[in-house]
């Protein structure tokens, strides 16, 4: 099983997004989540350190939910 992030909660959310048609490309210290209907990728830190980083990441994903179809209950 591939690990996308060192934080288990981030990893869980990324796996949920991948099940809904998102793509993931790993870089050096950051990964990129892409969706076919979005122009720009969402950048994800491989090792997030901030206390609120998961909350901010979820907020970023949910702000694009009109395009992607992901709801809060699915995360």
**CATH numbers and ranges of domains, the chain:** 8-74 (3.30.920)
DSSP letter at 68? H
User: What's residue 69's pLDDT?
Assistant: 60
Question: What is d(CA 60, CA 54) in angstroms, rounded to the nearest whole number?
Answer: 10
Question: pLDDT digit string (tens) for 14-68?
Answer: 998 898 889 999 988 999 999 888 888 988 988 888 889 989 988 888 887 665 5
Kindly indicate the confidence band of residue 75, based on its pLDDT and cuts at 50, 70 and 90: low
């Amino acid at each position: 099983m591939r690990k996308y992030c060192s934080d288990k909660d981030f990893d869980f959310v990324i796996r949920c997004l991948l099940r809904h048609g998102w793509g993931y490309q790993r870089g050096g210290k950051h990964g990129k989540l892409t969706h076919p209907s979005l122009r720009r990728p969402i950048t994800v830190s491989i090792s997030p350190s901030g206390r609120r980083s998961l909350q901010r990441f979820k907020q970023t994903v949910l702000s694009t939910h009109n395009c992607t179809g992901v709801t809060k209950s699915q995360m």
